[in-house]
A and B are shown apart, each in its own frame.
Chain A
């Protein structure tokens, strides 16, 4: 019984923590981010399983996590406000070749991050060639080049 509560508690706690970390935090995985993610996983695993290493316990924990995750995505399908609250919305950070600095600061984005994305996805060289840059809900930066 307590392993189910533990898994549910961990799911909610992790969701809150990653919400605080923001959507950009682990969007473009650097090697260091990857290692960090592994350590987070390791720290979580101990608390999830406790000292019960049985097959049943592992299955219970996994089942709880899947039930919560699928349940939440179903709830998001049925309720748009909930989806907005949990996923947020895409936000513009470049508009017609102009950086929106105030927004970028709040989203913890530097000009270089956007230009890097632009080079990577569109082969764009200068900010003037970007029509729109959008921080998507998953933290990726989409670039729409100017015609």
Chain B
């Protein structure tokens, strides 16, 4: 069959039949196109999901350091409502001296802290913020591991401060 004949046949198939059922081929073609485009869309969503658009991947892993370099935070830029996320905070201070760390922002009021490790030496509240006293080792570095969980949908802001000069702002978007 020549290419021309094949095209003619394909065109004939696009004509709506009325027997034994009333067809509407223009509509049917839109449906088929929707299925095809939708499939490609789903492939893109799955690939983006693998890349971490919805959390736990290269796209969502983020870190930020304060201007003076003392404070370092690793967090999830994108995540989902109802899942637990890891937050890692590293502060550099002087050896064997406790450091005061302040956690603030909507992240703290909207999310609950599920675990906090290591246990701070002391913790108290200051307005809406939480103040934590962390012990340091010989190299003067304190690391705090937090797991957070929130049912919130939208953007949550987090602020971490260690002293007046070191502050880090970050935000996490939670998908429903």
**Alpha-carbon distance between A132 and B18 when the two chains are bound, in angstroms:** 12
Closest to A98 in B: B9
B residues within 8 A CB of A16?
38
Q: State which of A102, A106, A107, A144 has its C-beta within 8 Å of the C-beta of B20.
A: A144
Q: Are B10 and A88 in contact (CB under 8 A)?
A: no
B82–A50 CB distance below 8 A: yes
Against B, the Cβ 8 Å flags (1 = close, 0 = not) of A70-106 are 0000000000000010001111100100001111001
- Within the complex, the shortest CB–CB distance from A136 to chain B, in Å, comes to 9
State whether B32 touches A107 (Cβ < 8 A). yes
Distance in Å: Cβ of B151 to nearest Cβ of chain A: 8
| Chain A hits for B28, CB < 8 A | 88-89, 91
State whether A90 touches B21 (Cβ < 8 A): yes
Which of A9, A90, A102 has a CB less than 8 Å from the CB of B9?
A102
Separation of A143 and B14 alpha carbons in the complex (Å)? 20
Question: How many Å from the CB of B142 to the closest CB on chain A?
Answer: 33
Q: Is A119 interfacial (CB-CB < 8 Å)? A: no
Cβ proximity bits B70-86 to A, threshold 8 Å, 1 near / 0 not:
00000000000010000
CA distance A146 to B35 in the complex (A): 32
Q: Are B22 and A100 in contact, CB atoms less than 8 angstroms apart?
A: no
Binding site for A on B (CB under 8 A): 9-10, 13-14, 17, 20-24, 27-29, 31-32, 34-35, 38-39, 41-42, 82, 176
Q: Which residues of A contact B (CB under 8 A)?
A: 9, 16-17, 19-22, 50-51, 84, 88-92, 95, 100-103, 106-107, 132, 134, 144
The 3 A-B pairs of least Cβ separation, nearest first, read A20-B38, A90-B21, A106-B32
